[in-house]
Amino acid sequence: MSGLMQRATTDRQPAIRSSALVRRFGDNEAVAGVDLEVQAGEIYGFLGPNGAGKSTMVRMLTTLLKPTSGTAHVAGYDVAADADQVRLRIGVALQEAALDGKQTGRELLDLQGRLYGLSRTERLRRVKELLELVSIGDAIDRRINTYSGGMKRRLDLAASLVHQPEVLFLDEPTTGLDPTSRAAVWAEVRYLNEQLGMTIFLTTQYLEEADALADRVGIIAQGKLVAEGTPAALKRSIGSDVIVAKVAAAHAASVAAVVERLAEVDRVEIAGDEVVMSVDRGAAAISPVAVALAEAGVTVEGLTLRTPTLDDVFLHITGGRLQEDAA
């Protein structure tokens, strides 16, 4: 895989930087003043439900949509003033793969190389290298309309890498894929980052995807960046453990009123038929919680002790579950 990517690493400016970035559609402010920095060589996970502003943010950073106001720089260039320079340095795989079903996979990759001005020798080399990276096999010479969803996603990823980009944007790359195909995409993303040092901006609705892949995570809700940090730090911010009481939704408020008085419980939040309690020491807290609920005569369908998740972080910050909002 030598030669797949050889870049100078002396320039340590952020790979992506936005300042007060805004995009409006009429009266709707889809992105509402986002400031962020992504360092070179980092995987940055951008979490949020549908309609939160994730895809609009990606479209601005990849020069497909002009900001209403604010600024953004990618690979050192302004996305509005120097769009052509940005495009030469980025790879983009959007939610809907823009693939011509009548082409073969090899024809698509060759065409992508032609569009970036690669010579025939360079194109042949790049296709060979990319076939070692993405698991398409003999299907590379079949028409794309015969590919499975997972194969199309992997081919689209390969097409975004033909010109050896500095920064790769992946917009929900595993949505709709089966677990095996999703694992394959994860493995390819890790390889690009760990072995080749590529900066990756990854938007996703899948909490486990962000947790598994991202060095840092940004959570966007209603067009605003509402939290940012490593997955571990974000989860620690809401407590060491979480106790979840599953109840009838109509009884959730009364259950919350009982447990929020306990000294062992730091914070209580309601999400539908779940009452979520943040605690420092779950093993010590779960018994007092159970006793208090029993003494209050509250019917609880289940009581679970677990460690925090990114969805718990989202619930704490926004008052809703990310997966529920996504659905």
pLDDT digits (tens, 9 = 90+) for 39-67: 999 999 999 888 889 989 999 999 999 99
Write down the pLDDT at residue 176. Answer: 76
Of 260, 269, 262, the residue nearest 316 (C-alpha):
269
Q: Is 184 helix (H, G, I), strand (E, B) or coil?
A: helix
Q: List, in sequence order, every beta strand (DSSP E) within the chain.
A: 16-25, 28-38, 43-47, 69-74, 77-78, 90-93, 167-171, 199-204, 216-221, 224-229, 241-246, 265-271, 274-279, 302-306
319: left (phi over 0), alpha (psi -120 to 50) or beta: left
Give CA–CA dist 58/39, Å, rounded. 16
By CB atoms closer than 10 A (0-12, 13-18, 19+), residue 299 is: exposed
Give CA–CA dist 246/281, Å, rounded. 20
CB 243 within 8 A of CB 282: yes
User: What's the topology of domain 239-307?
Assistant: Alpha-Beta Plaits (3.30.70)
Of 314, 305, 318, 249, the residue nearest 278 (C-alpha):
305
How many CB atoms sit inside 10 A of residue 298's CB?
Answer: 18
Write down the pLDDT at residue 323. Answer: 60
Write down the pLDDT at residue 12. Answer: 67
CA atoms within 13 A on the CB side of 207: 18
The pTM (predicted TM-score) of the whole model is 0.83
Once rounded to an integer, what is the mean pLDDT over residues 97-103?
82
- Is it the case that residue 1 has pLDDT exceeding 50? no
* The amino acid at 13: Q
- Each domain of the chain, given as residue ranges in start order, spans 16-230, 239-307
- Is it the case that residue 173 has pLDDT exceeding 90? no
Give CA–CA dist 184/123, Å, rounded. 24
Write down the pLDDT at residue 317. Answer: 86
Token pair of 73 as six digits: 């720089």
Tell me the pLDDT band of 233, cut-offs 50, 70 and 90. very high
Sign of CA dihedral 195, 76, 170, 307: positive
Once rounded to an integer, what is the mean pLDDT over residues 107-124?
92
Q: How far is CA 156 from CA 56, 106, 115, 162, 276, in A?
A: 20, 12, 15, 10, 40
Measured at the CA of 213, the angle between CA 212 and CA 214, to 5 degrees, comes to 115
Beta-carbon contacts of 91 under 8 Å, excluding residues fewer than 6 positions away, are 160, 161, 163, 165, 167, 168, 169
Write down the pLDDT at residue 28. Answer: 93
Q: Which CATH code of 3.40.50.1000, 3.40.50.300, 3.20.20.10, 3.30.470.30 fits the domain covering 16-230?
A: 3.40.50.300
Tell me the pLDDT band of 129, cut-offs 50, 70 and 90. confident
- Report the DSSP beta bridge partners of residue 3: none
* 99 compared with 74, residue with greater pLDDT: 74
- Orientation of helix 120-133 relative to helix 179-194, angle to 10°: 120
Once rounded to an integer, what is the mean pLDDT over residues 20-37?
95
CB 130 within 8 A of CB 158: yes
Question: What's the farthest any 2 CA atoms get from each other in the chain?
Answer: 78
* 203 compared with 150, residue with greater pLDDT: 203
Write down the pLDDT at residue 7. Answer: 41
Gap between the terminal Cα atoms of the chain = 40
Token pair of 276 as six digits: 């979520």
